[in-house]
């Protein structure tokens, strides 16, 4: 028997100290780089977008890959690339941890649209508010000790 699955992961992670170091001007290059990592892992990227201090990824994982390894590998590879590319001179690393939410295939278009409209979305809501809302939506108890940098606004550079 073959292995079958259809699980969509909405993954969110932010820069160290939520510093605004991901230049929107060069974000498409970063997203293409992440897409390449995902393809190498025989996984599928459905949508990626973000702001200067965080990224959203909608993806399905190959059945042989654990979510924690997947996120770790994306963060590790992009950290090295971001530091050496010259396009993101203020990038100093990713914050520890991430959030991952699962969705059914029926929710795919809704989540894709949500991620696609990140820049528009963040004109009216901060990343802190967005993150806490996502956690609450999935009944995840919020522990402020693990929300680094949320007591202040993201810092530039």
- Residue 140 binned pLDDT confidence (cut-offs 50, 70, 90): confident
Closest CA to 53 of 10, 92, 102, 110: 92
- Residue 157 binned pLDDT confidence (cut-offs 50, 70, 90): very low
Give burial (CB, 10 Å; 0-12/13-18/19+) of 54: buried
Q: Are 17 and 93 in contact (CB under 8 A)?
A: no
- Coil, strand or helix at 99: strand
**Which two three-digit tokens encode residue 26?**
């060069």
Q: Residue 152: pLDDT above 60? A: no
Instruction: Kindly give the interhelix angle for 67-85 and 27-40, rounded to the nearest 10 degrees.
Output: 140
Q: pLDDT higher for 135 or 73? A: 73
CATH class of 8-146: alpha beta
pLDDT value, residue 75:
98
Domain positions in the chain are 8-146
Global pTM value: 0.88
Closest CA to 30 of 73, 62, 77, 71: 77
Calculate the dihedral angle through the C-alpha atoms of 135, 143, 153, 133, rounding to the nearest 10 degrees.
20
Determine the Cα–Cα distance for residues 144 and 51; give it in Å rounded to an integer: 22
Mean pLDDT value across the chain: 89
């Amino acid at each position: 028997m073959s292995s079958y699955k259809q699980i969509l992961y909405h993954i969110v992670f932010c820069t160290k100290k939520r510093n605004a170091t991901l230049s929107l001007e060069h974000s498409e290059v970063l997203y293409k780089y992440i897409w390449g990592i995902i393809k190498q892992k025989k996984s599928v990227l459905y949508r990626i977008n973000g702001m200067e201090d965080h990224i959203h990824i909608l993806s399905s994982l190959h059945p042989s890959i654990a979510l924690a390894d997947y996120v770790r590998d994306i963060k590790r590879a992009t950290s090295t690339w971001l530091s050496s590319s010259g396009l993101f001179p203020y990038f100093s690393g990713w914050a520890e941890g991430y959030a991952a939410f699962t969705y059914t295939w029926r929710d795919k278009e809704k989540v894709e649209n949500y991620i696609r409209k990140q820049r528009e979305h963040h004109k009216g809501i901060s990343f802190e508010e967005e993150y806490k809302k996502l956690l609450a939506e999935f009944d995840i108890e919020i522990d402020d000790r693990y929300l680094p940098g949320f007591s202040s606004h993201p810092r530039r550079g």
